């Protein structure tokens, strides 16, 4: 479709701005724009059509199945959005007198209390604005802890090879050396590799459980015990808590600090970089290092101003209160059930990377399928677009060859899962009959196969006038 600038016609306009009702002032000449502002010129109905067309080209969880593994693209109940748009929450200022923001502070306290209960932590901050930002905060807590004890020889953070890419990036950003350990045959932490990596220089371990393969590591208590025995701390990447919330707690697994992505599990839509919240929780012995919600007078580290993205916390609290003590674990159980149901319905077609019961997500390995048909995981993903289904996460985790990672989430109906399974089974057969057609997919989308390296390295993000 055309950009709004390309639709512009000189002289066309519509008056949508009200008359100026404040006194005009003149700026210094050197502050004034030297040339006129090059804005698109269109009538109101054309503007309206332009944005309506843009809307139709967006795909979100309310359009259809969106199984982006690790990302938890799940339905966000409308009530959470409604509560977060109440003027009592939107019309506040972080520097407003305390007496006028009591309700908002109660929201932060209550949300912190419930999330501590869900995770088995003792304290929590909502300051970090995203998951990676939360990791950065959490690993800084670990750093502060060792520093305060004068234990400065601890320079290494251990990260399994199935980890989300942000984990090693975080450890490096915090000034640690990253020690990668390989996974065992069954997709879990290789205990021997862990033991070999541990030592006097270990600051900590970063782990996701269930991991990005959708597998719950049954040795978790042994893993955290070994790290503690070596003098390190354990960090839990809880970006995605969908499989375990209300069922098992990172705190009980032996973790010392964690982050949660409220914009994955707790009712804030995400994708496209909207506001999020990477809540960071910790055990009592680390709480003095946590950011406090005020910008001044805090002992702890500061990673963002004030209390973070407050309205995201309002949504999380609404979500927790509406689901309640029974609803939270039920959502987790349904997420696990849905993932296992879909994996089972694919039996005899695409092979799972690990033949075992999965948690909230599962990974297919299309290595052998590609050898047989020439059709890659990318081709299957592109073919799903033609059938109105958003592709799953591709080529991640890195340790699975030709990976497709599905996370159906708890709110998908059996009919949807059956439909998706039928489509995937059909694509499996099509790949054997007409692989060339699949290599050309998508056939019905606006954009087919962009040059992904160019798109990532040299993205064109704004319109520029031809001179």
By rule CB under 6 A, what string of x and - marks binding of each residue 27-66 to ligand PLP? Answer: ----------------------------------------
Binding of ligand PLP by 309 (CB under 6 A): no
Least distance (Å) between residue 339 CB and ligand PLP:
15
Q: Can the peptide bond before residue 455 be classed as cis, meaning omega within 30 degrees of 0?
A: no
Site stretch for ligand PLP (CB under 6 A), options 95-103, 127-135, 332-340, 451-459: 127-135
Least distance (Å) between residue 166 CB and ligand PLP:
4
- Among 233, 277, 249, 256, which residue's Cα sits nearest to residue 125? 277
Nearer to ligand PLP, 156 or 264 (CB): 264
Which helix H or strand E contains 158, and what residues bound it?
strand 156-160
- Among 437, 286, 413, 406, which residue's Cα sits nearest to residue 340? 406
SS3 10: coil
Nearer to ligand PLP, 265 or 383 (CB): 265
User: What is d(CA 160, CA 220) in angstroms, rounded to the nearest whole number?
Assistant: 13
User: What is d(CA 116, CA 138) in angstroms, rounded to the nearest whole number?
Assistant: 15
Binding of ligand PLP by 130 (CB under 6 A): yes
Site stretch for ligand PLP (CB under 6 A), options 232-240, 300-308, 313-321, 429-437: 232-240
Least distance (Å) between residue 206 CB and ligand PLP:
9
**Residue whose Cβ sits closest to ligand PLP:** 131
Site stretch for ligand PLP (CB under 6 A), options 27-35, 237-245, 353-361, 390-398: 237-245
Q: Are strands 233-238 and 202-207 parallel, antiparallel or unpaired?
A: parallel
Site stretch for ligand PLP (CB under 6 A), options 125-133, 152-160, 249-257, 425-433: 125-133
Least distance (Å) between residue 273 CB and ligand PLP:
9
| ∠ Cα 369 372 378 (to 5°) | 45
Q: Please say whether the beta carbons of 332 and 247 come within 8 A.
A: yes
Nearer to ligand PLP, 208 or 383 (CB): 208
Q: In what order do the strands lie in the sheet with 202-207?
A: 123-125, 278-282, 257-261, 233-238, 202-207, 156-160, 177-181
Least distance (Å) between residue 65 CB and ligand PLP:
19
Sorted by sequence, the CB contacts under 8 Å of residue 423 that are 6+ apart come out as: 384, 387, 389
Nearer to ligand PLP, 119 or 373 (CB): 119
Binding of ligand PLP by 74 (CB under 6 A): no
Eight-state DSSP code of residue 68: B
Structure tokens at 455: 């798109």
Binding of ligand PLP by 307 (CB under 6 A): no
Site stretch for ligand PLP (CB under 6 A), options 5-13, 47-55, 198-206, 235-243: 235-243
Applying CB under 6 A, the site for ligand PLP has a residue count of: 14
Nearer to ligand PLP, 309 or 383 (CB): 309
Buried b (16+ CB within 10 A) or exposed e, 347-375: eebbebbbeeebbbbbbbbbbebbeebeb
* Ranges within 246-285 binding ligand PLP (CB under 6 A): 261, 276, 278
User: What is d(CA 158, CA 180) in angstroms, rounded to the nearest whole number?
Assistant: 6
Nearer to ligand PLP, 75 or 437 (CB): 75
Calculate the dihedral angle through the C-alpha atoms of 418, 393, 193, 174, rounding to the nearest 10 degrees.
-140
Q: Which of 208, 307, 373, 383 binds ligand PLP (CB under 6 A)?
A: 208
Least distance (Å) between residue 249 CB and ligand PLP:
17
Q: Which of 143, 146, 156, 164 binds ligand PLP (CB under 6 A)?
A: 164
Nearer to ligand PLP, 268 or 334 (CB): 268
Structure tokens at 292: 């406090």
Binding of ligand PLP by 131 (CB under 6 A): yes
Least distance (Å) between residue 264 CB and ligand PLP:
6
Least distance (Å) between residue 56 CB and ligand PLP:
27
Residues in the chain: 467
- HSE at residue 12, side-chain half, CA atoms within 13 A, is 15
* Ranges within 383-412 binding ligand PLP (CB under 6 A): none
SS3 54: helix
- Which residues of the shown chain bind ligand PLP in the complex (CB under 6 A)? 70-71, 130-132, 164, 166, 208, 237, 239-240, 261, 276, 278
């Amino acid at each position: 479709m055309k950009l709004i600038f390309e639709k512009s016609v000189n002289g066309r306009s519509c008056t949508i701005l009200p008359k100026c009702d404040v006194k005009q002032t003149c700026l210094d000449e050197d502050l004034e724009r030297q040339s006129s502002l090059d804005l698109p010129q269109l009538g109101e109905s054309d503007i309206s059509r332009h944005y309506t067309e843009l809307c139709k080209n967006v795909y979100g969880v309310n359009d259809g199945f969106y199984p982006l593994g690790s990302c938890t693209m799940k339905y966000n109940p409308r009530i959470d959005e409604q509560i977060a748009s109440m003027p009592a929450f939107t019309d506040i200022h972080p520097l407003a007198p305390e007496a006028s923001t009591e309700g908002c502070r109660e929201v932060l306290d209550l949300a912190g209390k419930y999330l501590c209960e869900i995770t088995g932590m003792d304290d929590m901050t909502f300051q970090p604005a995203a998951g990676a930002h939360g990791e950065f905060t959490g690993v800084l807590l670990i750093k502060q802890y060792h520093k305060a004890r004068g234990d400065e020889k601890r320079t290494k953070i251990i990260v399994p090879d199935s980890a989300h890419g942000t984990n090693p990036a975080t450890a490096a950003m915090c000034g640690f050396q990253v020690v990668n350990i390989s996974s065992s045959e069954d997709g879990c932490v290789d205990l021997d590799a862990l033991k070999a990596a541990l030592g006097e220089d270990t600051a900590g371990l970063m782990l996701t459980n269930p991991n990005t393969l959708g597998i719950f590591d049954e040795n978790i208590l042994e893993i955290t015990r070994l790290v503690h025995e070596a003098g390190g701390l354990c960090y839990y990447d809880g970006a995605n808590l969908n499989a375990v919330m209300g069922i098992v707690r990172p705190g009980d697994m032996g973790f010392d600090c964690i982050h949660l992505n409220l914009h994955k599990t707790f009712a804030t839509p995400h994708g496209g970089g909207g506001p999020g919240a990477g809540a960071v929780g910790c055990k009592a012995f680390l709480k003095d290092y946590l950011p406090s919600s005020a910008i001044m007078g805090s002992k702890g580290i500061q990673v963002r101003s004030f209390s973070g993205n407050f309205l995201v916390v309002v949504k999380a609290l609404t979500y927790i209160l509406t689901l309640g003590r029974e609803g939270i674990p039920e959502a987790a159980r349904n997420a696990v059930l849905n993932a296992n149901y879909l994996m089972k319905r694919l039996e005899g077609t695409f092979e799972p990377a690990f033949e075992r019961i999965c948690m909230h997500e599962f990974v297919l390995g299309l290595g052998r399928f590609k050898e047989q048909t020439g059709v890659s995981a990318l081709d299957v993903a592109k073919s799903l677009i033609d059938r109105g289904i958003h592709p799953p996460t591709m080529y991640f985790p890195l340790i699975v060859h030709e990976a497709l990672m599905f996370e159906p989430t708890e709110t998908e109906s059996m009919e949807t899962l059956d439909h998706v399974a039928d489509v995937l089974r059909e694509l499996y057969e099509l790949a054997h009959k007409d692989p060339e057609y699949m290599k050309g997919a998508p056939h019905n989308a606006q954009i087919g196969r962009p040059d992904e390296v160019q798109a990532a390295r040299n993205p064109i993000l704004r319109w520029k006038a031809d001179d």
